[in-house]
Amino acid sequence: MSYKIVLPFLILLLALASISWSADSKNIAVEEAKRNIAEGKYGLVLDVRTPEEFRGDLGHIQGSRLLPIQELEGRLGEIAEYKEKNILVYCASGGRSSRATSLLAEKGFSRVENMMGGMKEWNKKGYPVER
């Protein structure tokens, strides 16, 4: 096989790999998130639900900061100091926090984790909440 054929494919593979490695974001289980919170791993624990949900039946994680996903992109300046710090993002079940995690990674936040299952899973495990 000629290098003229293989080289473009190698360049494409390297380009794709660099995109996926550009930001350290991942999904983590509720148990890992709780352990990391207890160990003080996060500079910011970010709730991306609505204010009503934050105060509602599912409650919120103690010490978390509310920044609804609908407002997140326009308010990134408020959390810019956490760009290089560990951030945990959560919502009710993991969908909105997954989108928020991707947005934060795209905007240069380098260490972002999405809590899978969100507050529904947190409550199912019986972990403490504030209301």
pLDDT, tens digit, 9 for 90 and up, residues 78-123: 999 999 999 999 999 999 999 999 999 999 999 999 999 999 999 9
Residues annotated catalytic, as ranges: 91
Report the C-alpha gap between 33 and 114 in whole angstroms.
9
User: What are 42-52's pLDDT values in tens digits?
Assistant: 999 999 999 99
Single out the residue of 106, 123, 116, 100 nearest to residue 44, CA to CA: 100
Per-residue confidence at 11, pLDDT binned at 50, 70, 90? low
Q: Is the pLDDT of residue 8 over 70?
A: no
Asked if 53 and 95 count as a contact pair (C-beta separation under 8 A), the reply is no
pLDDT at residue number 24: 56
Domain residue ranges of the chain, discontinuous segments joined by +: 23-124
Given a cut of 90, whether residue 130 has pLDDT beyond it is yes
pTM above 0.85, yes or no: no
Asked if the model's pLDDT at residue 7 lies above 60, the reply is: no
Residue 26 CA to residue 60 CA, distance in Å, equals 21
- State the CATH class of domain 23-124: alpha beta
Give the per-residue pLDDT at 101. 97
6 has a pLDDT exceeding 80: no
Strand order in the sheet with 44-47: 24-28, 111-115, 86-90, 44-47, 65-66
- pLDDT at position 20 is 40
25 touches 105 (CB < 8 A): yes
**Mean pLDDT of the 24-31 span:** 88
